[in-house]
C-alpha cells in the first residue's frame, strides 16, 4: 500500500507518541510513519502523523506554534513537574487571589527564558536528560528562549487552574506550570494537558487512532503549504 499524507490523531492518555506510530504503521501496513512533535504519555490531543513521503515534512511541522489546554495544581511540586512524579514539596495553602493569578500569567506572555526539565529528550554529553533523570542525576541546563503568544484562564476551582496557552516550539508546559506557581510563591505542577492545536491542525478535526482510515489522510501532494 502506498499512502503518502498527513493524519491528525487525537492521542489518548497512557501511551507514548511512538506507540501511536507503531499502531498507525500496523493499521495501514506502512514502513515509513513518523510524527511532528511528541506528546507525553499523560497528555492527549493533536498528534500530527506523517505517512510515507510526508515524513520529509517533519522538520517543517515541528516549527509550528502549538496550543494547549493545561491544568495547574497548586500546593505540590513533583520531580517530573507533573502528576506522574514523586511529590518533593508540599505546602498547605488556603487560597490564591484571582488577581494575583492574572498578573502572574501576564508576566509570562511574550518572549521568556525557560529551563528545560530533566525529563526532556534534550541531550547532555550524548545522553538524553530523561535517561539521566532515571538514574537520579540532575545536571545544569541552559535556559532557552521561547515565546508565549497568548495565555488565558479558562476555569479555576481551587486548587486547580485550567488555562489555554499558545506557544512556540520547544515550550515545556509542565515547566510553565511550575514557574507560574513559583512566581506566586506556591509549589505547583501540571495535572493535565491537552494539545488543542498544532499549527493549522485542530483537535476538532483529529481522529481517534482506532477509527482512522484512508479517507482521513490528507494528501501529501495536495498540501499546498509545502508545494
Residues with catalytic roles: 40
> What are the angstrom distances between the C-alpha of 107 and each of 60, 140, 148, 150, 190?
30, 25, 10, 11, 18
Q: Which of 202, 173, 5, 214 is nearest to 83 (CA)?
A: 173
Q: Return the SS3 of 170.
A: coil
Q: Return the SS3 of 11.
A: strand
- The conformation of residue 36, written as its DSSP 8-state character, comes to S
Domains defined along the chain, listed by start: 5-63+199-226 (3.30.2350.10), 66-197 (3.30.2350.10)
How far apart CA 170 and CA 152 sit, in angstroms, is 20
Write the DSSP string, 63-120: TS-EEEEEEEEETEEETTSBTTS-EEEE-------HHHHHHHHHTTSEEEEEPPPTTS
How far apart CA 161 and CA 71 sit, in angstroms, is 6
Tell me the β-bridge partners of 198: 66, 201
Note the pTM of the prediction, 2 decimals. 0.90
- Torsions phi, psi for 176 (to 5 deg): -60, -45
Q: What is the chain's pLDDT, residue by residue, as a tens digit (227 residues)?
A: 568 899 999 999 999 999 999 999 999 999 999 999 889 899 999 999 999 999 988 888 889 999 999 999 999 999 999 999 999 999 999 878 999 999 999 999 999 999 876 665 666 566 665 565 566 666 666 889 999 999 999 999 999 999 999 999 989 999 999 999 999 999 999 999 999 999 999 999 999 999 999 999 988 766 645 43
Amino acid at each position: 500500500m502506498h499512502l503518502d499524507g498527513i493524519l491528525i490523531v487525537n492521542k489518548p492518555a497512557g501511551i507514548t507518541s511512538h506507540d501511536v506510530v507503531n499502531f498507525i504503521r500496523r493499521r495501514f501496513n506502512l514502513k515509513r510513519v513518523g510524527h511532528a512533535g511528541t506528546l507525553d504519555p499523560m497528555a492527549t490531543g493533536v498528534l500530527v502523523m506523517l505517512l510515507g513521503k510526508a515524513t520529509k515534512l517533519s522538520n517543517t511541522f515541528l516549527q509550528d506554534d502549538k496550543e494547549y489546554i493545561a491544568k495547574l495544581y497548586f500546593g505540590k511540586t513533583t520531580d517530573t513537574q507533573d502528576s506522574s512524579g514523586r511529590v518533593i514539596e508540599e505546602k498547605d495553602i488556603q487560597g490564591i487571589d484571582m488577581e494575583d493569578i492574572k498578573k502572574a500569567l501576564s508576566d509570562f506572555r511574550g518572549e521568556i527564558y525557560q529551563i528545560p526539565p530533566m525529563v526532556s529528550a534534550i541531550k547532555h554529553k550524548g545522553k538524553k536528560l530523561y535517561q539521566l533523570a532515571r538514574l537520579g542525576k540532575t545536571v545544569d541546563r541552559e535556559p532557552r528562549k521561547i515565546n508565549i503568544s497568548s495565555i488565558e484562564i479558562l476555569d479555576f476551582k481551587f486548587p486547580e487552574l485550567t488555562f489555554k496557552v499558545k506557544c512556540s516550539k520547544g515550550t515545556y508546559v509542565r515547566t510553565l506550570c511550575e514557574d507560574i506557581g513559583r512566581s506566586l510563591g506556591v509549589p505547583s505542577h501540571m495535572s493535565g494537558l491537552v494539545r488543542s492545536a498544532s499549527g493549522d491542525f485542530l483537535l476538532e478535526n483529529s481522529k481517534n487512532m482506532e477509527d482512522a482510515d484512508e479517507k482521513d489522510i490528507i494528501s501529501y501532494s495536495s498540501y499546498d503549504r509545502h508545494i
